[in-house]
Amino acid sequence: MTLALVSALVGSLLGLELDPTFNEPLLSTSLQDFWGRRWNLVATNILRLTVYEPTKKMFTNVFGHRWATSPAVVTTFLASGLIHELMFYHMVRMKPTGEITVCFFLLHGMCVAVEIELKKTFKKWRFPRMISMSLTLGFMVKTSTWFWFPIIKRLMVTGEYC
């Protein structure tokens, strides 16, 4: 969110039209849609080019094209989690616990990988849009509550934030 605010401020001050950082994430119909096309598009594009595509190419050579997507997705989410742990550490100087990396991002990476495989298996079948949006938002809210809020609460109780 900070990136979006800074981007908007710099864009208006310099009179530049910058690429959007977010694309209506509340309208996401799946986790893949949320992470791949709607949430933090700058990070998504960087991770796609630097982690996902090279990892998928490597795994394609090992497992073949059909099975290379899942490990590439999970690896990309792991990298994102590690980056978040590093940013979090530098912002608040709290020793990383792995809750962000291991729990939140790996869970989401595994769920996106399963979702992609299910879409390949059941090509034409999909939930109605409103149900998909509700399930996606519900999953995001629930997992954020499980993994992010305890960290934020710990920071507020201990006063260990900047």
| Range with the poorest average pLDDT among 37-41, 49-53, 83-87, 127-131 | 83-87
Residue 55 makes CB contacts below 8 A (sequence gap 6+) with 71, 72, 75, 76
- Residue with the bigger pLDDT between 8 and 119: it is 119
Q: Is residue 20 part of a domain?
A: no
pLDDT at 82: 93
pLDDT at 156: 76
pLDDT class for 3, splitting at 50, 70, 90? Answer: low
pLDDT class for 1, splitting at 50, 70, 90? Answer: low
Q: Is the pLDDT of residue 141 over 60?
A: yes
> What is the tally of structural domains in the chain?
1
Nearest partner of 103 among 49, 148, 161, judged by Cα: 148
Instruction: Please give the mean pLDDT across all residues of the chain.
Output: 90
Contact 128, 85 (CB under 8 A): no
Q: Is residue 125 part of a domain?
A: yes
Q: Is residue 16 part of a domain?
A: no
Tokens 């954020």 map to which residue?
Answer: 144
Provide the token pair at 111: 């769920």
Domain range for residue 130?
Answer: 28-158
Q: Is residue 9 part of a domain?
A: no
Question: Given phi > 0 = left and psi -120 to 50 = alpha, else beta, which region is 24?
Answer: left
For the residues 120-147, what does the mean pLDDT come to? 95
Q: Is residue 15 part of a domain?
A: no
Q: Is residue 151 part of a domain?
A: yes
Provide the token pair at 83: 């980056």
Q: Is residue 46 part of a domain?
A: yes
- Residue with the bigger pLDDT between 93 and 103: it is 103
Q: Is residue 71 part of a domain?
A: yes
- Residue with the bigger pLDDT between 64 and 97: it is 64
- Residue with the bigger pLDDT between 158 and 76: it is 76
For the residues 57-78, what does the mean pLDDT come to? 96
